[in-house]
Amino acid sequence: MRRDERNMKIYQLVVRDTLRRRRRALFTAMGVAIGVAAVVAVLTVANAGEKRIYSEIDKYGPNMMVTPAINDMDLKLGDLRLGSLAVGNNYIAEDRVPEIRQIADGAIREALGIQDQEDIATIAPKLYVDTTVNGTSIMVAGFDAQQEIAIKSWWDTAKGGYPEQQNEALLGDRASSALGVDVGDRISINGEEVTIVGVLQETGSQDDYQVFAPLGTVQKAFGKEGLISSIDIRALCSACPVESIADSINKSIPGVRAVAVQQIAESEMNLVMKVNRFMLALAAITLVVGVFAVVSTMMSSVHERTKDIGIMKAVGASRGQIVRMFVYEAVAVGLIGGIMGYVAGTLLSYVLGPLIFDGLPMSYAPQYLLPALGLAIAVAIVASVYPAFRASQVRVAESLRAL
């Protein structure tokens, strides 16, 4: 008999035996499915949670800030300290912005393999000036409305909208109350007349106390054309190399100091990693328990089939064929268990996700189907090694005593 024919007969024998003992096969598959379901659920929740964290981090605003490089110099007379003196320019030349963009976008393209030559990073320059409006001391911020809105995604207007023209302005919530003005009113910023077109909702930050006007308008009003106070930068993604970008800016552009703001992002992602490790550890324990359950079930199957194995050996079946029979059965059980585990794990993720991450939207992850099947088959095969070895050691005489 040819090898292909022998293998075909083994396949047929496994199929018939599995159908005859379908309840036992189902329980064995469930042992595999429980472990696989735990792993699939953890991976699905972790994947959705990571996306949630990244989207939340994007709401924190800039992940880099560029300010003038000002140093404090100690003033001494002998051993007597007379105080300190700020040395350096309080402003950044506006013509540095294209250089900063070139460095930031270049580093992001290199890190992420992006070929597109359009602007990538969000760069929001600002000019801050203390002044008096309607007899009240207040901070005026010259800004690029489009870039600022892109960085501060939490901004929303309680009234009106955002400035679109050079003679328009936006007020913080507290600034509107302090100045006693509202949407449609006109104010003078150091001689430059602007119309209030919007009032921000309260943010709980210094933005509530400021007047925002187009950068060019504020520069003109205070004679600071071509100057800015600081630059907020938002890289394309939370994983972008902000530290290396900041180092490149500091080395390439004199008179500025770039600082990467990563504390929040790092603490959030460290928390997610710890939760993921804990959940994976629980899934691994569940998987090990599933392996022992499969071993126990298949060992029982060996004892029940002692007579069948002896008869097979009596008619010429080799040890290799006996082992293959159990391996083929394990593959079938693993395939069924993998499908059951993937479905159960996906459904379980819809329960665990919102519990771990409040309000986390879940969706099935098709990329885990093939790994789930592979894991289930591998677990079933590993669990069948010892039972298959024991089955191959069964002697014909032992099987005859079982008759």
Helix (H) or strand (E) holding 377: helix 369-392
For 171, the 3-state DSSP assignment is strand
pLDDT at 398: 55
Task: Please state, as a whole number, how many other Cβ atoms lie within 10 Å of the Cβ of residue 115.
Answer: 5
First-to-final CA distance of the chain? 28
Do the Cβ atoms of 69 and 255 come closer than 8 Å?
yes
- pLDDT tens-place string over residues 274-295: 767 777 777 777 777 777 777 7
In degrees, rounded to 5, the angle at the alpha carbon of residue 204 between the alpha carbons of residues 200 and 209 is: 60
Provide Rg for the chain, Cα atoms.
35
Which residues, including other chains, have CB under 8 Å from residue 3's CB and lie 6 or more apart? none
pLDDT at 367: 86
pLDDT at 324: 75
The type of residue at 343 is V
Most confident of 78-82, 110-114, 198-202: 198-202
Average pLDDT estimate for 388-398:
64
Q: Which has more confidence, 3 or 54?
A: 54
The answer on pLDDT for 65 being more than 80 is yes
- pLDDT tens-place string over residues 156-188: 999 999 999 999 999 999 999 999 999 999 999
Of the listed ranges 9-23, 231-245, 352-366, the least confidently predicted one is 9-23
pLDDT at 262: 60
User: What distance in Å separates the CA atoms of residue 296 and residue 353, rounded to the nearest whole number?
Assistant: 33
Task: Take residue 65 and report the two structure tokens written for it.
Answer: 């800030």
For 202, the 3-state DSSP assignment is coil
User: What distance in Å separates the CA atoms of residue 64 and residue 235, rounded to the nearest whole number?
Assistant: 8
Percentage of the chain exceeding pLDDT 90: 26
The answer on pLDDT for 105 being more than 90 is no
Phi/psi for 62 (5° steps) reads: -70, 145
Average pLDDT estimate for 222-240:
82
Of the listed ranges 38-52, 155-169, 210-224, the least confidently predicted one is 38-52
Do the Cβ atoms of 225 and 179 come closer than 8 Å?
no
Task: Take residue 337 and report the two structure tokens written for it.
Answer: 């268990």
The answer on pLDDT for 103 being more than 70 is yes
- pLDDT tens-place string over residues 311-329: 666 666 677 777 777 777 7
The answer on pLDDT for 363 being more than 80 is no
- pLDDT tens-place string over residues 109-148: 877 777 777 888 889 999 999 999 988 999 999 999 999 9
DSSP state of 191: T
81 burial (CB, 10 Å; 0-12 / 13-18 / 19+) is exposed
Which residues, including other chains, have CB under 8 Å from residue 338's CB and lie 6 or more apart? 32, 33, 36, 372, 373, 374, 375, 376, 377
